[in-house]
Amino acid sequence: MKLFASLPLVIFSNILLMCSGPSSVSGSSSYYRADSYPSSAAHLSENALATPEVFNQKMIYTASIEVKVKEAATIPERIKAITAQYEGYIVRISERNATIKVPAARLNEAVEAMSALGKVKEKRIVAQDVTDAYNDAEIRLENLIQARKRYLELLEQAQTVEEILKVEKELERVNTEIETFKGRLQRMDNQVSYSEIYVQYDQKVKPGVLGYVFKGLYRGVRWLFVRGG
C-alpha cells in the first residue's frame, strides 16, 4: 500500500513533532539560597509559595537544619510527632539525622518546629524553579499521545504482517516514552506539593570531672583579669 510505503516518512515526522518545543527537558532552573533564615529566607519562602497559584509557577523547596541537642535518643520520636502534626511523612530517619516531607504550604511552620529541637547551628531553605522543565515535559507528553493516535490509525489499516510489525514497534517505543514523561511529571508534582526537610542532630558533649575543674579554673582566671583591668 502507498500509505505504508511512506511509513518511514510518517515516523520521521512524528519524531520531529515529539522533539518540538523547548530544547531541554530539564529546562532552566533558578536557585535561591537563604543563609540568614528566618529573616531573608522567610520572606523569600512566603512570597514564593504564593506565586504558583497566580502564575502556575512550579517551585520545589528543600530545607536543611543542623541542631545541637541534649538527648539525641529522644529526637527521632519528636521528629515523628512534628511530621504528623504538619501532615507530612518520614522518608528516612536514624539516630543522627532524618529526612521528612511536608506540604509545601506548611514548610515554614515545620522548619520552625524542627528548630525548637535544640540549638540551631545552621538553617537554610533552597528554592528551585522547575516551571520550564514541567511545561516542556507536558508538551512532549501531549505530542507523544498524538503520535500514538496516528500509529493506532495506521495499525487498523495494516494488511500485512510486515506492516503490522513496523507499526507495533513504533507503538511500543512511543508507549515507553509516554510512561517515562508521565513518571517525570508525577515526580515533579510530588516535589512541588511536598517540601523536603533534612534534619541533622548532634548531642552536646558533656565535660567529665576534669573538664568541669578546668572550666572552673578558666572562669576564675578570667574573673581575676577582669577585676585587675
Predicted confidence (pLDDT) per residue in 117-149, tens digit: 999 999 999 999 999 999 999 999 999 999 999
- C-alpha distances (whole Å) from 99 to each of 64, 197, 228 are 9, 6, 52
- C-alpha distances (whole Å) from 185 to each of 86, 174, 192 are 25, 17, 10
Question: 14-18, 74-78, 193-197, 202-206 — which is least confidently predicted?
Answer: 14-18
**pTM for this entry:** 0.67
Predicted confidence (pLDDT) per residue in 84-112, tens digit: 999 999 999 999 999 999 999 999 999 99
Mean pLDDT of the 38-55 span: 39
Report whether 68 contacts 119 (CB < 8 A): yes
What is the C-alpha to C-alpha distance for residues 59 and 193, in angstroms, rounded to an integer? 9
Among 149, 163, 183, 158, CA closest to 18: 149
How far is CA 75 from its chain centroid? 24
Model pLDDT, residue 101: 98
